[in-house]
Amino acid sequence: MDHKSVAERVLQDVGGVGNIRAAAHCATRLRLVLKNQDSVDQSAIDNDEDLKGSFLNAGQFQIIVGPGDVNEVFKHMVASGAPEVSKDDLKSIAANQGNIFSRFIKTIADIFIPLIPVLVGGGMLMALDNVLRAKNIFGPKPLIEMYPAWEGFADIVNLLSAAPFAFLPVLVGYSATKVFGGNPYLGLTMGAAMVSPALMNGYKVAASLAHTEGADPMKYWDLFGLQVQQAGYQGTVLPILLVSFILANIEKFFHKILKGTIDFIFTPTLTLLITGFVTFLLVGPPMFQLGTWLGEGVNWLYTAAGPIGGLIFGVLYAPIVITGLHQSFPPIETSLWASGGSFIFVIASISNVAQGAAAAGVALTTKNKKIKGVASASAPSAFWVLPNPHFSV
């Protein structure tokens, strides 16, 4: 291989040295952060007999050269003016590529894509549980009433299907803290604290705060005269995202100012302590209040604006679910069902089916194998019960 010639061709095919923001390499690949991805002639790179392919991953355009050769090609690229950085710096530069919105979307995707298999599995089991318990599928009664021997099986399916969503803050806490640069096990621990059985179940909080008839009363901690809600966060997403971000930055701060054994002992201790109080004092109450306002606003929107209000709510429903604020809807739905029916249920069902159809369309048309796999797995669960596509596709 003529390493200098390969380096020249690579520079030409990526849009010139001026299009390279940062460059590094690993054992086999060139790793480039480019200013304009549209300037790349990827087909020329992929068809180059001295190169073994290319792909874009996490903001890095990676070109497979091969062990040994990659070092020599990289040296010639740097000699021609490519800005050399460390692999860690390259990751940081890649992470900060694009505008605020694109970075936000990338961060959310990095957090939730690893969770897709869990959510898909739970969603499919939830669909199976619904089939086992629904009337007029196998007969006038649910299957488990017609054949009581199936009841134990259905109970276990129900348990397994509910687990990913009841403990969603645990899963998100691990993944989000890892993405934000903190210790993921500290994030997992905070997520577990937020769904502790010592707290009121998160699915009951909205009804309790709305003083719905028959709802359990909210309990409070007396913290030096300050009343703090003992509320759980089952099924929520936005609170643990904020908590994970706060936790990761608190941990980084203590790692900077503490050293050695002191750092090892006190950084996780102080991180959990401070984050815990911030969670229940500053993050939780505003989130629950926001949920209450949202529920009241949705009810007013549909009542006052009719079909137009329904259209607006339909557009906003999927983003609301992503945040977990849809947990504030049950008290409203309870009163709606009592008066004859729920518009929320209809809109939620249409939203799920629309997302399933969109994911199926992506699965059929995309050439990206990773996206095709995620879309193929997400579409069926969205059709049947759970809107996974908005987290990943």
Phi, psi of 221 (to 5 degrees): -85, 140
Got the DSSP string for 12-69?
A: HHTT-GGGEEEEEE-SSEEEEEES-GGG--HHHHHT-TT---EEEETTEEEEE--TTH
Task: Show the tokens assigned to 2.
Answer: 């003529």
Each residue of 189-209: b (16+ CB within 10 Å) or e? Answer: bbbebbbeeebbbbebbbbbb
Start-to-end C-alpha separation, the chain: 40
Closest CA to 127 of 154, 90, 152, 93: 154
Burial of 48 (C-beta count, 10 Å sphere; 0-12/13-18/19+): middle
List active site positions: 26
CB 233 within 8 A of CB 241: no
d(CA 110, CA 97) in angstroms, rounded, equals: 15
CB 318 within 8 A of CB 355: yes
Pairing of strands 20-25, 29-34: antiparallel
Q: Output the CA–CA distances (angstroms, integers) from residue 307 to 27, 176, 250, 288, 330, in the order listed.
A: 59, 38, 47, 28, 21
